[in-house]
Structure 1
Amino acid sequence: MSFARLSSLEAQPTTSRETGYSDDPEFHRLTQSLSSRLFNLTSNITKANHILTLLGTKKDTPEIRDRLQKLLQETRESFKQIGEGIKRVQLWENASPQQRFIQEKLSREFTAALPDFQAVQKLSVEKQRQYVIQARSALDTIQHEGDSHPPSPGGDGETMPLVQQQAAQLQLASQSDVDFQESMIQEREEEIRDIEEGITQLNEIFRDLGTMVGEQGHMVQRVWQNIDNTRTDTRAASRELTTAARSQKAARNRACCLLLILAVVLLVVLLAVLT
């Protein structure tokens, strides 16, 4: 479908002047909900990117990482639900030209947002994995060194990255604190597995939707081709009708002329006979 067609469809009204309602209220409600949720997803991706910039810095805290994990989980579930909604929209029966335009618009917005979120998830996995490696290394060192002197932090605790702060604290920690840190590491590893699984699931949704959109695109293209063919045939038929009408008019004119000539001839004959 050409850009000109899309623009013309976008300019067309989607409501009936007589009733004031959309052509299909259910379709309207579904697409409006999906559009709103897609906007929220974009906002979540922006928030996640901001939090990722804090990881590995002096502002890095367990609370920040938990917040990021919850945000990613929430956004991942929303993507799955919206993906199902987009599929439902794509399979809408007897879609009008305006509805087909909305179908394509939602698909474009969804497919544009998904790679951005996948990039956020991959970066989150990378930073979580770095944290796990550093935290486990610090924990193993402390467990092997036992009562050795703690490493110099090299500055105020508030300016130290999260892993260095925790390593310094573990030097003086009790066994319960060490066990707690071990559980935190395991929790981060579980989060990494969850994110990687989510990446795979969203990739499958992306592929399924891409296949569906491709099929719908071919279908829409065939529809527009049929419309073009119909318009061409209609114009040709109109030209033929015009030609036929002109031919009939010319034939009538010729017939009228012949009748007039016959009438004149007949009149002349009658006058000749009568005189």
Structure 2
Amino acid sequence: MSSGKADRYLTQPRDSNTLTQTCSSNIQKITQNTAKIKSMVNQLGTEQDTSELRDGLQQIQHFTNQLAKETNKHLKDLGFVSPSSAPSEQRQQKIQKDRLMNDFSAALNNFQAVQRQAAQKEKESVARARAGSRLSAEDGVSEEQLVSFDNQDDWAPTITQTEEAITEEDLVLIKERETNIRQLESDILDVNQIFKDLAVMIHDQGEMIDSIEANVESAEVHVDRGTEQLQRGAYFQCVCVCVWGGKEGRKEGGVCLCVRAWVLSGPGVPG
């Protein structure tokens, strides 16, 4: 390990149990927050759609995104914790980490889905606001023409003032929602990066993953002797990888994973 990496982890918690518990708690919070976000997103564009709702949605979404980044960091920290000297405890630690990565990936998949749904609804809201602004301005012109048509001196400036007032009000709303969209898109990219990091962590452990879906199957652990085997199956556009067995005749766990748009391959992988 380089000195830079060593310095980086000097201040990090090195206890495996503490890191595992923190990750597990964070994953549970992400799952709970995702359910809340989904409920709030479903209210967008309805009578319950208010500025307070959107502010609350923005806050919980961004907080959950930060929670995901923190969890990702703790999972990386687990890789720097000195393994137990007992082989049985080493296997248990590996199984726990595999389960955490599975649960984390599944939680991220659901979280990113509601992120994308929220971004889409925000874009639709901006489009409606822009269209409504144009219609309101046109209605204002027509109304002023009917009311003040005989007074040509007062008519033109009144129309201009009406259009400016409507445009200023709508622009504030549009800018706020466009800011929300940019933040959502930035947070979605953060989650994409976390998926990449998860793939690298798994690969660094000597496991192979092959998938185009960000969906993780529940881990099914088998204790067995033998060499590492890879099984890969395709169903429409979903490819799942199962890694079984261990290296050098040691007992190891097995895990099935699917990770969005990330395929890690190597020699000896059967087609």
TM over 0.5: yes
Task: Tell me if the contact between 1:90 and 1:213 (Cα under 8 Å) persists in the aligned partners.
Answer: no
Distance in structure 2 (CA, Å) of the matches to 1:73 and 1:228: 43
**C-alpha deviation, 1:106, in angstroms:** 0.7
Question: Which has more strand, going by share of residues?
Answer: 2
> Which residue matches 1:242?
none
Percent sequence identity over aligned pairs: 31
**How big is each residue's C-alpha offset from its partner over 1:62-95, in whole Å with a ceiling of 9 and x where there is no partner?**
2111111111111111111111111211343325
Change (3 A) 1:29 1:209: same
Where does structure 1 lack aligned partners over 5 or more consecutive residues? 1-23, 151-172, 230-275
Change (3 A) 1:89 1:228: closer
**C-alpha deviation, 1:218, in angstroms:** 3.2
Instruction: Give the alignment partner of residue 205 of structure 2, picking from 216, 221, 228.
Output: 216
**How big is each residue's C-alpha offset from its partner over 1:205-251, in whole Å with a ceiling of 9 and x where there is no partner?**
201211211331439x779332449xxxxxxxxxxxxxxxxxxxxxx
**C-alpha deviation, 1:99, in angstroms:** 1.1
> Which residue matches 1:100?
94
> Which residue matches 2:236?
none
Distance in structure 1 (CA, Å) of the matches to 2:132 and 2:15: 57
**C-alpha deviation, 1:149, in angstroms:** 4.7
> Which residue matches 2:133?
139
Task: Tell me if the contact between 1:38 and 1:110 (Cα under 8 Å) persists in the aligned partners.
Answer: yes
Where does structure 2 lack aligned partners over 5 or more consecutive residues? 1-12, 85-89, 145-161, 209-226, 229-244, 252-271
Task: Tell me if the contact between 2:136 and 2:166 (Cα under 8 Å) persists in the aligned partners.
Answer: no
- 2:219 is aligned with 1:225: no
**C-alpha deviation, 1:145, in angstroms:** 3.7
> Which residue matches 1:48?
37
Structure of larger gyration radius = 1
**How big is each residue's C-alpha offset from its partner over 1:176-224, in whole Å with a ceiling of 9 and x where there is no partner?**
57523311211111111111121112111201211211331439x7793
**C-alpha deviation, 1:26, in angstroms:** 1.5
- 2:47 is aligned with 1:58: yes
Distance in structure 2 (CA, Å) of the matches to 1:66 and 1:193: 14
Change (3 A) 1:177 1:140: closer
Say which SS state the counterpart of residue 60 (structure 1) adopts.
coil
Distance in structure 1 (CA, Å) of the matches to 2:191 and 2:172: 28
Change (3 A) 1:147 1:176: closer
Instruction: Give the alignment partner of residue 175 of structure 2, picking from 167, 180, 186.
Output: 186
Distance in structure 1 (CA, Å) of the matches to 2:97 and 2:249: 19
Task: Tell me if the contact between 1:90 and 1:216 (Cα under 8 Å) persists in the aligned partners.
Answer: no
> Which residue matches 1:88?
77
**C-alpha deviation, 1:139, in angstroms:** 1.1
Change (3 A) 1:77 1:25: closer
- 2:194 is aligned with 1:205: yes
> Which residue matches 1:254?
none
Task: Tell me if the contact between 1:44 and 1:75 (Cα under 8 Å) persists in the aligned partners.
Answer: yes
| RMSD between aligned residues | 2.9
1:112-131 correspondence runs (5 A): 112-131=106-125
**C-alpha deviation, 1:146, in angstroms:** 2.6
Task: Tell me if the contact between 1:132 and 1:185 (Cα under 8 Å) persists in the aligned partners.
Answer: yes
Distance in structure 1 (CA, Å) of the matches to 2:199 and 2:92: 21
Larger RCO, structure (CA 8 Å, separation 6 or more): 1
Distance in structure 1 (CA, Å) of the matches to 2:106 and 2:80: 20
Task: Give the total of aligned pairs.
Answer: 185
Question: Which has more helix, going by share of residues?
Answer: 1
Distance in structure 1 (CA, Å) of the matches to 2:123 and 2:188: 16
Say which SS state the counterpart of residue 122 (structure 2) adopts.
helix
1:235-254 correspondence runs (5 A): none
Task: Tell me if the contact between 1:51 and 1:68 (Cα under 8 Å) persists in the aligned partners.
Answer: yes
| One-letter amino acid of the counterpart of residue 73, structure 1 | H
| One-letter amino acid of the counterpart of residue 36, structure 1 | S
